[in-house]
Amino acid sequence: MIKRSRLLNAPPKTLEEIYFTEIRPQLYENHAHHHQYGVRKGTTLAEHLDSACQFILTVSRIAEVPEDKRPLLLAATAVHDLNKLDTQGRNVKTLARNQEFLREQLEKACVLSFVISQDDLELVRKLIERHSGHNVSDGARFLPEDPNIERWAAMLTAADLFDLGIPDAQRFRKLEKELTVAFGRSCNLFRISISEDKGYITALLLGACEEVLQKYGLNPLAIFPDGELFEGEALANVYFTKEIAAVWQSKIDQVFGNNIERLVRATKDGIKVTHQAIQQNIEEVLVNVEALLERKKAGYKSEKIAKDVTKWGEAAGADALIKAAELQLLPVSNAEEFAISEGLKAAYLSYREAGLSPKEVWDKIAHHTGISELQRTAIEAFNGQYGRPLFAAKAAVKGIEGIKEALKESFQLRKESTQISEETEVSEEMIAAVSRMVNLPFAIRLNGVDDLNAYVEANPRQRCSLGSTSTDIDELISDNMPPGTKVQAFSNRLPGGISAEPKRQADSIAALAYQLMAVGANFPAVKKQDPLYLHLTLPKGSAPELLRIWRGLLKQLAATNAEGGTVTIDELKLYRDNQIEFKANKVVGLALPKRPDFVHTSAIIPLLWGDVNNSLALLKSLRLALEISLSLDIGFPFTLSSNLEVELSNDAYGRIEGIPSALQTLLGNGQYQQRQDAEKILERLRCIGKLATSVASIQKADDCLYDLARACVRPIELYYVLLRWTLREQDEPNLSVIWSRICEPLNTLLESFMPDENLLLTKYLREAAQVAAEGKIWGSSFKRTAQAEPFTAFIAAIRSQKPYLGLDVIFAALVQQYHTRLDRIREHGVGATKYEQVKRYYELLRKLYEEVYSARPEKFLSDQKTLEAAYLFFLEEARKQFKSQSEDDSVETTTTV
């Protein structure tokens, strides 16, 4: 099993923190490869013990078990399956009464420190023995006993049943029976599940569900990738959907309330204010608009404005210009007037969003800004959005204050048009979204037929680029949509249309989900890039306390960047030492969530890697995803995708969407059903990372990493890539030193692939290298060309092969020529023994040529660089083995003497 890192480094304070930091990693160290059978088939003993321990921590807190007893319940749960921990096949009752064995198992599980006295050990023994359903069978049944033991034993029994592989309805009945005893009251289980995960907006929705259900007496019991399990005496007769929608809306409003500056934007068409901004704080919106107007004033360029004045003046006509000039409707001529014209344009855009016609808009603007009736009539000939503001700025005698009054009125009109009345408290759209996205524990009338009809009957121009086709479709520009969202309607490219960018159609909730991500993640302050999204999901049946710890960890990691941007990792330490060390970065890394409530059943982390190709971004993202997911104290299933929304899954441990064909040999099919499958991929990526940093500088390690990853399609190509990068970084490299660095990760990587088609090839190459090492068959120096000399002579002979010469003649000539060469360069010459070694050397290369390449020169020569590189590394390996063997023989001879 590969060595896995840890992320929780803070000293634990609570019992839950002690469990997740110290005990849980030990359970996986001890039992991660102990597979179970029967109704628990498909899970390991470590997963079962972990599930039971998390369950007991939650239930004991709900039941208000005394704090001095909770650690004992946890200790008993951590080793409750004593029969599975024993190699002799003894039963639980026998093992529980064997104090030596029980203490040994408690110590292995790191919980022996909780068992202080003999009474504590006896309590642990009783809980373990009784959890399996047996009656009290020792002498204690005739003595007074703490009545709480029965309740605590029921908790342990319920914890043992919690992950049973049977249908939920049957399993929940068993749990309710045990928990009724444990709590001393009626207990019913209620599960909510989500149909789709849209990121932060779904996390806020689940948070709203939890808040409302807790208000009515239900307690969170466990978290699943697709929802949450609650327990309580009964479900109140309340319209939960409406109340949840109201809380959900308030949570969304709070997010946007803190990000108004992101919702008030200066565009080439004017200052635009979104609906979300005006629903928060109108005064704050006005402050942001005024700040943007000041920036417009500071950026005033007379030449550019003069061109716009000419353009829109000519569009209105000479008569309109003359009439406007008579009424003092003169074009802007300074920065102050330009700011007022931009303010008029902002007011125009805002009024238009409220549904008013251009004439109605300018009537209201004229009223607020002091434009007279005659002037109002005169500017009618100019373009409403672009021309009129340029010519009406001088006439707006009330200036910025008048514009602010107009903006206030427009905001109020927009707010009223979408405002939730006091009677309904929340819009029908939000209620419908809750009904569609969440399966609450009571009957809901599904509108599947309506959704299908909306899709079938939708106007082609209103097909959704994002989300499902429904009646609530928004038309948005690309800044408000995820990168790469396809365009569905090109109406503005028709004859006579404006040259602005095409609009995207989006389901309103899907668009809102993206906007939440845009303002809620710590994206870098640079131009928007296409991120990959890492979806980390809490394992099935996780304790609510794990969610709190996970949120705290993400907050701590985000604080690494005090300026609120991305957090990256020290790549040198990651590639070379397999250590994760986070550090701040302004451009690339993880865009962690800004708020803890953006994380619930899953955490969605955008990953940005700057100007790199998609394959390299995928490799870097996957390495980081696996290091986090497989850390001993996290162990979260993951999905890596270019999409914000992915399919929910309770089965696969890991999933990658969109693997290029060049990386499929390295990464497999992208579906990792078990933790062991993901560990195998992580081991491969770790090996490639070590190889890259061994032959390339850290500045070029990513390029080398990419080349190595692509070479895995045919693993023997790895030798050529490594040699090429070594020569690129060093003119005369010491191959012996390089081999000592790369041999371990390279051999581990090759063993992971085990390609059958290369077995014979590497066999003959290795044997030839061993003969060369034993006979010192190489040139006159330790330079690369001299070391490869006998092999390159073989390549040259094949390249110059004549049709009329048979292989016998070619290889006989090779043997004679190279023997003569060695005789000339060796100080004392060579004899018959060396001739036989050279002959054996070329016999192996002939077998390689005939059996692997079918004596086809074109096929062989296409691989010549790869074969030469592999031969050089095999020669270094053979040399080390020969040297080590010689030293061992020398030591053995000396010892014998």
Q: Give per-residue pLDDT as tens, 289-331.
A: 888 888 888 888 888 888 888 888 888 888 888 888 888 888 8
Decide if pLDDT at 279 tops 80. no
Q: What are residue 507's phi and psi, to 5 degrees? A: -60, 135
Residue 424 is predicted with a pLDDT of 38
Q: Give per-residue pLDDT as tens, 852-871.
A: 899 999 999 999 999 999 99
Decide if pLDDT at 135 tops 70. no
Residue among 492, 499, 872 nearest 716 (CA): 872
Sign of CA dihedral 342, 344, 349, 353: positive
Mean predicted lDDT score pLDDT of the chain: 84
> How many of the other CB atoms lie within 10 Å of CB of 334?
12
Q: Give per-residue pLDDT as tens, 489-528.
A: 444 444 444 444 555 566 778 778 888 888 888 888 765 6
How would residue 724 be classed by pLDDT, with cut points 50, 70 and 90? very high
How would residue 801 be classed by pLDDT, with cut points 50, 70 and 90? confident
Across 390-407, average pLDDT: 87
Burial-class residue 444 by CB neighbours within 10 Å (0-12, 13-18, 19+): middle
Structure tokens at 391: 């010519």
Residue among 78, 88, 96, 72 nearest 31 (CA): 78
What is the Cα–Cα distance from 207 to 205, expressed in whole angstroms? 5
What is the Cα–Cα distance from 280 to 268, expressed in whole angstroms? 25
- Give SS3 for 142: helix
Residue 458 is predicted with a pLDDT of 57
Across 121-150, average pLDDT: 72
Decide if pLDDT at 892 tops 60. no
Decide if pLDDT at 459 tops 70. no
Strand order in the sheet with 532-537: 582-584, 567-569, 589-590, 602-608, 532-537, 638-641, 654-656, 671-672
Residue 676 is predicted with a pLDDT of 85
Decide if pLDDT at 58 tops 90. yes
Decide if pLDDT at 893 tops 60. no
426 conformational bin, left if phi > 0, alpha if psi -120 to 50, beta if neither:
beta
Decide if pLDDT at 670 tops 80. yes
